[in-house]
Amino acid sequence: MPFKIINKLVLADQVKRIDIIAPNIARRINPGQFVSVAPEEDDEHIPLTVTAYDLIKGSIMLIFPEVGHTTKKLGAMHIHEEIYSVLGPLGRSARIGKEGLVVCIATGIRIAQILPICRAFRDKGNRIIGVIGAKTKRSLMLEPQMRLACDKLYIATNDGSYERRGQATDILGEVLEKNRIDCVYAIGSVEMMRAVCAMTGQKNIKTLVKLNPVMTDCMGMCGSCRVKVGGKMVLACIEGPEFNGFDVDFDDLEIRMNAYEENAQWGNLPSEHKTGNGGPKTLTKFLSGILKG
């Protein structure tokens, strides 16, 4: 099955959007589900949320930040190139019901994940207040789409370069005071989701969060996306990625998210083991040995 790129756009600073032909996935995808993508053979598979799909073209839209090795490679691919592997749809679909007044809050790259949720809530006849945040105006994306999907949209930038200065959670606090909210859907960093759950917990508002733990195979085989929910270890790729916000153990999640950060750990160990063994370094050492001898 060829997964051809048919469209590519730069949305914000280091954020790209690609549309891929994948009719089997487009036919079955639900809001909140994701796909696992490997740009070339033997590459790492990365989970990416599907922001939108087109049944006529049979295409899915992926939005990703170019931060890691694999996403940089994916971002460097051109229109008409074929992606090696796209597996999906994965995960459970979002629990979207008739709630009334819903607040959808997301920051940074997670705006791409909240957009399909907003649209699904809207299709069910809910009224939606959107709250999105970004570091600067340059890194804010999908603003027009969010304006269409939400009844009212608040925007916060950390440096004040656009609309309001501050955090998205500050706006959420005001919104919660002014209105009677029935449901809050939050996607963001661990601190942000923890803050949202603390706010809604006081008023006893239903809160759903979408977690983004590290995933290796996205099928439940590796166990790297294990999170503690309701006192029990579950796999986010099978039972999630959406969970009830009050059940999630955010301290545990923070440890898990931190576990793959290359720079954060092994401070007491020699630096060479960070690079692993073998690789080009060994080769250059070997070659320089030959040249010297």
Partner 1 sequence: MCVRACPLEINIPGFIRSLREGRVSDAYAIIREKSCLPSICGRICSAPCEVACVLNEEAAPIGIRALERYAADFGKGKLAKKQRLLYGGKKVAVIGSGPAGLSAAADLAQRGYQVTVYEAFDKPGGILRYGIPEFRVPKKTLDHEIDQIKALGVTIETNFLIGHTATLEEIRQKFSAVLLATGAGIPKFMDLPGTSLGGVYYGEEFLMRVNRAKSTFFSRGVPKLPLGQKIAVIGSGNTALDCARTGVRLGRQVTLIFRRLEEDMYVAEEERQYAKEEGIQFASLVKPVEILPDSNNFVRGLKCVRMDFADRDGSGNWEVAELPDSEFNLDVDTVVIAVGHNPNSLVGEGTPSLKINDDGTMQVRDNDSMTSIPGVFSAGNVRTNAGPVVEAMASGKKAAEDIDRYLRG
Contact residues for partner 1, defined by CB under 8 A: 1, 24-25, 28, 38, 41-45, 69, 84-90, 216-217, 219-224, 226, 228, 233, 235, 238, 252, 255-256, 258-262, 264-267, 269, 273-280, 282-283
Shortest distance, position 141 Cβ to partner 1, whole Å: 27
Closest CB to partner 1 among residues 177, 264: 264
Shortest distance, position 216 Cβ to partner 1, whole Å: 5
> b/e string for 35-71 if b means 16 or more Cβ within 10 A?
bbbbbeeebebbbbbbbbbeeeebbbbbbbbbeeebb
Per-residue CA distances from 203 to 48, 110, 183, 200 (Å): 33, 25, 11, 5
Closest CB to partner 1 among residues 144, 289: 289
Please give the sequence-ordered ranges of beta strands (E in DSSP) within 100-216, or none if there are none. 101-107, 127-134, 152-157, 164-165, 183-187, 206-210
Q: For residues 235 and 8, give the distance between their C-alpha atoms in angstroms, rounded to a whole number.
A: 32
Closest CB to partner 1 among residues 150, 235: 235
Q: For residues 230 and 78, give the distance between their C-alpha atoms in angstroms, rounded to a whole number.
A: 44
Closest CB to partner 1 among residues 43, 170: 43
Shortest distance, position 47 Cβ to partner 1, whole Å: 13
Closest CB to partner 1 among residues 15, 38: 38
Shortest distance, position 59 Cβ to partner 1, whole Å: 16
Cis status of the peptide bond prior to 241, with omega within 30 of 0? yes
Under 8 Å CB-to-CB from 285, ≥6 apart: which residues? none
Shortest distance, position 193 Cβ to partner 1, whole Å: 17
Shortest distance, position 192 Cβ to partner 1, whole Å: 20
H-run or E-run covering 49: strand 46-54
Closest CB to partner 1 among residues 178, 273: 273
